[in-house]
Structure 1
Amino acid sequence: METNWTKDELVAYVLLYAAHSDFKEDNHERNVIISKVDMQTFQKIHDEFDADNDYQSIQKIMAGMEAHNFSKEDSNILLAEIKALLFSDGEFTLNEQQLLRSLNNLLK
Structure 2
Amino acid sequence: MSEEQYKWSKEELQTYILLLCANADNNESEEEINMIQSKVPTKTFLKIYAEFKNDSEEEQLEKIENAVNKNTYTEMELAAFRREIYHVFFSDCNFTMMEKRLDWTLDNILY
* Worse overlay, 12-21 or 96-105: 96-105
TM norm structure 1: 0.91
The code of the aligned residue for 1:51 comes to N
Paired with 1:48 and 1:92, the residues of 2 have a C-alpha distance of 26
Residue identity over aligned pairs, in percent, reads 36
TM-aligned CA deviation for residue 25 of structure 1: 0.5
TM norm structure 2: 0.88
- In structure 1, stretches of 5+ residues that fail to align are none
SS at match of 1:23: coil
- In structure 2, stretches of 5+ residues that fail to align are none
Match of 2:73 in 1: 70
TM-aligned CA deviation for residue 15 of structure 1: 0.4
The code of the aligned residue for 1:63 comes to N
Match of 2:24 in 1: 21
The code of the aligned residue for 1:86 comes to F
Paired with 1:42 and 1:54, the residues of 2 have a C-alpha distance of 19
Root mean square deviation, CA, Å: 1.3
1:88 pairs, out of 88, 91, 97, with 91
Match of 1:104 in 2: 107
**Deviation beyond 3 Å, 4+ runs, structure 1:** none
SS at match of 1:21: coil
User: Alignment length, in residue pairs?
Assistant: 108
